């Protein structure tokens, strides 16, 4: 299985995590609404910023993204919060805009959202 290339470093800034709890809620005529689980696993969405120290690093990432995972494939990466390896994919196969970063001359960043089952 493919792994997120080391040239795409996950930055701590811009981290957000959300998920749909997959719960069915039924309103009752009287009393408390009933709830039940729809699925045993939930799809977690993790927003992050990928940092590239040069345009060559981004080109390496782009080759991996277009070729190895073909935009929609699953890949492994180290979860930015837990440090554990997870299997994820890019939400809708999409990436954000590649923009210059102000840390060093010639570095770039890109927003991305990955999704994985928990």
Residue 20: pLDDT over 80: yes
39: CATH:
2.40.30
Give the pLDDT of residue 40. Answer: 92
**Total tally of structural domains belonging to the chain:** 1
Structural domain range at position 54: 2-117
In the structure, what pLDDT confidence band is assigned to residue 102 with cuts at 50, 70 and 90?
A: confident
Least confident of 5-9, 38-42, 102-106: 102-106
Percent over 90 (pLDDT), the chain: 84
The pLDDT, as a whole number, for residue 5 is 97
Strands 75-78 and 2-3: parallel
Q: Got the DSSP string for 40-82?
A: SS-EEEEEEEEEESSHHHHHHHHHIIIIISTTT--EEEE-TTT
| Cβ-contact 116, 86 below 8 angstroms | yes
- H/E segment holding residue 12: strand 9-19
pLDDT tens per residue across span 55-95: 999 999 999 999 999 999 999 999 988 999 999 999 999 99
């Amino acid at each position: 299985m493919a792994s997120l290339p080391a040239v795409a470093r996950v930055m701590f800034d811009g981290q957000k995590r959300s998920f749909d709890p997959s719960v069915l809620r039924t309103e009752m005529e009287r009393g408390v609404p009933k709830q039940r689980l729809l699925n045993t696993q939930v799809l977690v969405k993790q927003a992050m910023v990928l940092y590239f120290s040069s345009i060559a690093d981004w080109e390496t990432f782009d080759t991996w993204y277009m070729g190895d995972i073909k935009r929609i494939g699953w890949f492994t990466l180290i979860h930015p919060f837990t440090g554990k390896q997870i299997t994820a994919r890019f939400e809708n196969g999409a990436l954000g805009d590649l923009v210059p970063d102000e840390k060093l001359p010639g570095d770039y960043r890109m927003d991305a959202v990955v999704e994985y089952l928990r």
